[in-house]
């Protein structure tokens, strides 16, 4: 597939996998995906498995490590939080920010996500910033308004250079973990809309460079069609990232 932007496929393991299970998964992925080129593959285990998974992928040049969240603060008195600097210790390169589960359960706001994105860049981590509308919002015709607010609120404070190094994940909330995937047209329209917002906030050149992932029930069977869309530059995968076979097939079917 010939695209201006390099595909990035990330697996969000969420609150799953003991250290032993995480190692099984990542070692399986190393075997399956060791020879795959021209796509950035990112695994995002829970914090507790970052250290061991980091060691396991030292010899895998095409696998990068991501975290699922981080604090907006520098190290200090913030019980239960993890700072960007601590992630760097494990050679983490990406961090998912503003996942809809955190927006819903931890009430994370665009303002907070913006602070986290700035803190990530200050530590040379690449944020994967999630945006997406709920079913109620889509049915009320508010998708564009929601995306515009989230994109502006969580990304506008970045510099142009930081924005280019940021990944945006369009994840319609109604498609996450539900088995319902956006149609190709719905995904392309939303991605094109997000890119147009980035052009408004930054400029056309920045918008052309930013990678926008689709997330929401991506499976081996729908990966090829989704990844072939002009404004879809990768996938953020939840459920199907928990098994070697399904995640490896998503990657292979995408290229």
Tell me which residues touch ligand PEP (CB under 6 A).
12, 171, 176-177, 215-218, 236-240
Catalytically annotated residue among 72, 99, 137, 148: 99
State the nearest-atom distance from the C-beta of 213 to ligand PEP, in Å. Answer: 9
Smaller CB separation from ligand PEP, 16 or 149: 16
> Comparing C-alpha atoms, which of 172, 164, 169 is closest to residue 146?
172
State the nearest-atom distance from the C-beta of 195 to ligand PEP, in Å. Answer: 20
Q: Are 44 and 87 in contact (CB under 8 A)?
A: no
Polymer length in residues for the chain: 255
105 φ/ψ angles, rounded to the nearest 5 degrees: -85, -35
State the nearest-atom distance from the C-beta of 189 to ligand PEP, in Å. Answer: 18
SS3 235: strand
211 φ/ψ angles, rounded to the nearest 5 degrees: -90, 130
**Which residues face 41 on adjacent strands?**
9, 63
State the nearest-atom distance from the C-beta of 235 to ligand PEP, in Å. Answer: 8
Kind of pairing, strands 63-67 and 39-44?
parallel
Helix (H) or strand (E) segment spanning residue 87: helix 84-88
Catalytically annotated residue among 121, 148, 171, 191: 171
> Comparing C-alpha atoms, which of 1, 71, 70 is closest to residue 36?
1
Smaller CB separation from ligand PEP, 20 or 104: 104
Which residue number has the CB closest to ligand PEP? 238
Fill in the DSSP letter of residue 123.
T
- Residue 134 exposed, middle or buried by CB count within 10 Å (0-12, 13-18, 19+): middle
Smaller CB separation from ligand PEP, 10 or 143: 10
Q: Answer yes or no: 171 catalytic.
A: yes
Smaller CB separation from ligand PEP, 150 or 202: 150
Smaller CB separation from ligand PEP, 200 or 219: 219
State the nearest-atom distance from the C-beta of 58 to ligand PEP, in Å. Answer: 26
Provide the annotated active-site residues: 99, 171
């Amino acid at each position: 597939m010939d695209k201006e932007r390099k595909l990035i496929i990330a697996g969000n393991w969420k609150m799953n996998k003991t250290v032993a299970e995480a190692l099984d998964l990542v070692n399986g992925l190393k075997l399956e995906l060791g020879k795959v080129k021209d796509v950035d593959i990112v695994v995002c285990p829970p914090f507790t498995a970052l250290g061991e998974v980091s060691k396991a992928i030292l010899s895998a040049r095409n696998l990068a490590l991501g975290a699922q969240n981080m604090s907006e603060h520098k190290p200090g008195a913030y019980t239960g939080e993890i700072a960007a600097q601590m992630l760097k210790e494990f050679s983490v390169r990406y961090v998912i920010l503003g996942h809809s589960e955190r927006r819903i359960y931890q009430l994370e706001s665009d303002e907070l996500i913006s602070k986290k994105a700035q803190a990530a860049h200050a530590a040379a981590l690449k944020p994967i910033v999630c945006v997406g509308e709920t079913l109620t919002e889509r049915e009320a015709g508010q998708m564009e308004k929601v995306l515009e607010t989230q994109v502006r609120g969580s990304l506008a404070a970045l510099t142009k250079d930081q924005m280019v190094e940021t990944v945006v994940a369009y994840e319609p909330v109604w498609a996450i973990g539900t088995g319902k995937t956006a149609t190709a047209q719905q995904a392309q329209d939303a991605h094109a809309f997000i890119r147009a917002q980035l052009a408004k906030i930054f400029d056309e050149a920045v918008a052309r460079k930013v990678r926008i992932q689709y997330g929401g029930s991506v499976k081996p069977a729908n990966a090829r069609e989704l990844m072939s869309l002009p404004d879809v530059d990768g996938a953020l995968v939840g459920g199907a990232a928990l098994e070697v076979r399904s995640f490896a097939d998503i990657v292979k079917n995408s290229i």
